Structure 1
Amino acid sequence: MYETTPASAPTPPPPGATPEATMAAFVARAEADPAVVGLVLSGSRAHDGMATGRSDYDVHVITRDHPHAAVRELDGFRSGHLDLVVMSLADFRIRGLPGDPQGWQRYAYVHARVLLDRLDGTIARILDRKRTLDRAEARNAVDSCLDAYVNQTFRSLKSHRDGRATAGHLDAAESVPLVLEVLFALHQRVRPYNKYLRWELTRYPLGDPRWDAERLLPTLGRILTDGDPDTQRSLFTAVEAAARRAGHGPVLDSWGSDLRLLRSRN
């Protein structure tokens, strides 16, 4: 299937009549390649109910570390049917984890499915490590993102107070990704991509009715629409209570009397 020398690049996967046919043909090719030790399915095809007629297959291909595998030349290949990410086993071990420049990809592995594991479960074990935050990761994520969330909310409410509605709106919008990081990290969860936020909250709720999709998403929508100060304060009050219960009070207390603006308009 693939030459294992750098000089010979693999043939791009030809399109089949359907995405399913293209995917089946590529899996068969990968299974015949001794350099490939794992295949992982990600994206909408790994999220039940999210795939549409236009959905491609997102496949992460893991190769042996040595020698050079020509299939790695297909990293980044995209078509209407197939989207490939190819990496060595060593890279797969750290992909998405703290310190990795590709850390933003972590959520891609949360619901990913193993299609091929030639290493007696090693691919599955590495994948499982990425699915949730360990305690240290979660605590660090909450502390850093909580502080940043307070900062953006404080800036927004100051601007609203001083008659700078546009600045207040922009700062409020920037607080939304941060508060989502906090809420998911409080549960040792990886924040989902926006595309999957409603899916995640509906299928795997965070346990507090305030964070249910039907309550949280309209709240975030209002903040994104105009940065409404009362909505921001209501959300902050709920987040503050949850963060304090989880032991993150010192981060909040470091803001001292500035927190009064986040709790009340007076």
Structure 2
Amino acid sequence: MADVELNQWFFSGDVVLTYLALAGATCTVYDYMTTLDIEVRSRSFGKNRPKWKMPQGLFFLNRYVGIGWQIYTASCTTFNLIHSSFGFVVFFAMHGIMVYRVSSMYTHDRTILKILVIGYFVECISFIVIQVALWYYGRMLTDSDILIPNPVGFCGREKFPPWMFIVWIPLALFEFMICTLAVTLGVRYYKEVGSYGMFPNLPNSSRTSPLLFILLRDSIVFPFIFSLSCILNLVSFYLLSTGLRPSTMHVTFLFPSVLSGLLGPRLILNLRESYYECSTFE
């Protein structure tokens, strides 16, 4: 009987979900191990250690909560439901890093900063309200929890409200706004090649290094990648109402859960690595 159940599980969508979850956790840990030296070099230790600022706090939350979120596994317990909520912390921390990144590219222009901050809080509030509504809906269902085999680090459900897809709309719109602002600045830069007037805070070595290129590349490509991931989830969540298997929805959810823990820290670490290369070159 056990062999029959195992074979049924192996040929179902759950096996794909399990292997993808394991691959995502492996990528997260591998990225951490290969970039730990950059993180250590970018920190100052001793009496002259600077005080932590908001970007450092967001980096810590995004990087280490993201790692813990990927490697922790459990069945549908109360603690696991709390653990699943940490995924929202990872999302918001990554978007906070993006806000600081784009704001610094515009040299903290007040108009741009207001747009970013308002967009960020609208996204957070909308996302939280939708999640509370989903939680309330879940309480009205009985026997809706399903056990997803390890190493998947979240608890699944068999039944979802038909409007659940809207949870991805605030995330996708915010990423689109970030990407649009970054692309606009990138176009301005390439129209004024050789002019660094709109980036007065960058070191002179950026003229002969990939520092500025990395600043623009990551600020455009990373939000674009995450936007595609949000759109993929929006479509898969919407198709649930047409009879799509819940395991398929969980598979698509793995992509933003892994990307949020990778792209956020990389926005800072790639820039740090390029900066130290510039310093070494000088």
State the TM-score, normalizing by the size of structure 1: 0.28
Structure number with the higher helix fraction is 2
More strand per residue: 1 or 2? 1
Larger Rg: 1
TM-score, length of structure 2 as denominator length = 0.27
